Amino acid sequence: MSISSLNLLTTFAMAKHAYRLNNLDSHYPTWGGGYLFENSINYNQIESKIDGIVRAIGMYPILFYKLTPELRYYMAEHHCPVKSNWTHFFLEASHIYPHAQGLFCDSHAFLQNHAQDFMRQLFRLEPINQTLLLEHKPSVLTLAATLTHIGRPEQTPLTKSAGSFDEPYYQLLHSDLPHAIVASILQLTRTRVRQLRAQINHSVKVRRHDGSQIRAMERNTMYRFMLFLAVHLFKHFRHFGLSAIQAFVQANKMIHAMPTLKAHLSEEFHLSTNLFYWLYQEGLFENSPCRSIQDEPLSYPSKLLALFHLDAKSTLPSPKKCAQFAIPQWAAPEDKKLLNAVNIALINDAPLRPILIAYCEDAYK
């Protein structure tokens, strides 16, 4: 999903808006994007913290801006690249990721009200979740307040029923999950899972079944955070109509798609395995037919439990690295060049401030 790329492009566009205001750019009124960011973040804040901001954007699968209907008319509206990005993103999301719409809950009512004329609809973008973007180690309460629908059921689910989605059995069979865990999720025997994997020419190396990785989570704050987030994503997808199997697969896919989280995954911590054990302990999967899973002792570290208890003293990790951002097909040429420059800098662990300044001065046009 390109949610991280959309957040990054929008943040840089907002920075350009603030940069031009600071420099009293005489050409600014014709840019076609100034009205979008009437409540934008101060440019100096963005410039001084751009490296941390980009890593935060790659860490949270949420939108950092919300749509607000715009009643005034602007001549440059139809030529605004920022609006074009948001339009294409939501068109993509509504067709490819209908189960993820609750992640965009701040904009969902807007989309429902303007579904027929979204391409022509005028709107502004209001920055939200600024603490997650700007603060070094925000409290878990900040994230909990942001995840409006994730793990917080409403009266009526917003998506289609689970029957309208294909069951991802093959994705589990093609995964590297141990036979015992796949058997437990699908309610099959390990022998049957081995047979099915042989029939589909399973070529991925299956992980050894070593149980949950409690010690790794005791040592590493990012591992604890990834499990915490994956559990909330799972519950979110269940609420919005997916089966337990679908929700499990989608939560894993979303974590692996986030650039910052992807950069922190390692052999020491296998997210799918640990997510299964947490959900199994909570009774969100049926009893396992495998004795090795039934007998697995689970004693989670207090720091992980504090996240789930929303302990005010629990802080979210401050990531040190970030993988590459996806370059969406719908992005404008300037934005593709920007994303490419950001990705090269991330690969080389280079500062992002020069890229931000170059973008604000139209170096990628």
Per-residue pLDDT tens for 168-201? 788 898 899 999 999 999 999 999 999 989 888 7
Rounded Cα distance between 102 and 251, Å, is: 13
Residue 248, pLDDT > 80, answer yes
In a domain, 181, yes or no: no
Residue 49, pLDDT > 80, answer yes
In a domain, 142, yes or no: no
The DSSP line for 141-183 is HHHHHH-SSTT---SS-SS--GGGS---HHHHHTS---HHHHH
In a domain, 298, yes or no: yes
Give the pLDDT score at 314. 87
Same domain, 79 and 117: yes
What are the residues whose beta carbons fall under 8 Å from the beta carbon of 276, sequence distance 6 or more?
177, 181, 184, 185, 248, 285
Residue 291, pLDDT > 70, answer yes
In a domain, 289, yes or no: yes
In a domain, 76, yes or no: yes
Minimum mean pLDDT among 32-41, 104-113, 238-247, 306-315: which range? 104-113
Q: What is the mean pLDDT of residues 250-263?
A: 92
Confidence of residue 30 (pLDDT cuts 50, 70, 90): very low
Give the pLDDT score at 31. 43
Give the pLDDT score at 235. 86
Give the pLDDT score at 128. 76
* Residue 338 or 98, more confident: 338
The 10s digit of each residue's pLDDT in 113-171 is: 554 555 566 667 777 778 888 887 888 888 876 665 443 334 444 444 444 344 678 88
Range of the domain at 45: 3-136+324-360
Same domain, 223 and 277: yes
Same domain, 131 and 72: yes
Rounded Cα distance between 44 and 37, Å, is: 15
What are the residues whose beta carbons fall under 8 Å from the beta carbon of 174, sequence distance 6 or more?
200, 202, 204
Q: What is the mean pLDDT of residues 270-274?
A: 93
In a domain, 148, yes or no: no
Which pTM was predicted?
A: 0.84
Residue 215, pLDDT > 60, answer yes
> Which range has highest mean pLDDT (74-78, 239-243, 287-291, 333-337)?
333-337
* Residue 306 or 118, more confident: 306
Give the pLDDT score at 161. 43
Same domain, 100 and 15: yes
Rounded Cα distance between 345 and 341, Å, is: 6
Same domain, 226 and 335: no
Considering the chain, what percentage of its residues have pLDDT values greater than 70? 76
Same domain, 42 and 107: yes
Give the pLDDT score at 258. 93
Structure tokens of 355? 């890229």
105 to each of 83, 91, 128, 146, 190, how far by Cα in Å?
18, 15, 12, 10, 40
Same domain, 126 and 22: yes
> Which range has highest mean pLDDT (228-242, 247-261, 267-281, 334-348)?
334-348
Same domain, 302 and 335: no
The DSSP line for 88-133 is HHHHHHHHH-GGGGGGGHHHHHHHHHTSSSTTT--EEEEE--HHHH
Minimum mean pLDDT among 15-29, 94-108, 113-127: which range? 94-108
Same domain, 216 and 348: no
Minimum mean pLDDT among 6-10, 32-36, 68-72, 354-358: which range? 32-36
Confidence of residue 76 (pLDDT cuts 50, 70, 90): very low
The 10s digit of each residue's pLDDT in 228-239 is: 999 988 988 887
What are the residues whose beta carbons fall under 8 Å from the beta carbon of 301, sequence distance 6 or more?
214, 217, 218, 224
Structure tokens of 32? 């076609």
Q: What is the mean pLDDT of residues 2-16?
A: 90
Rounded Cα distance between 228 and 60, Å, is: 12
Per the structure, how many domains does the chain have?
Answer: 2
Same domain, 122 and 22: yes
Give the pLDDT score at 259. 96
Same domain, 350 and 259: no
Give the pLDDT score at 240. 72
In a domain, 146, yes or no: no
Confidence of residue 69 (pLDDT cuts 50, 70, 90): low
In a domain, 22, yes or no: yes
Same domain, 167 and 65: no
Local structure of residue 68 (DSSP, 8 states): E
Minimum mean pLDDT among 21-35, 55-69, 274-288, 317-331: which range? 21-35
Residue 332, pLDDT > 80, answer yes
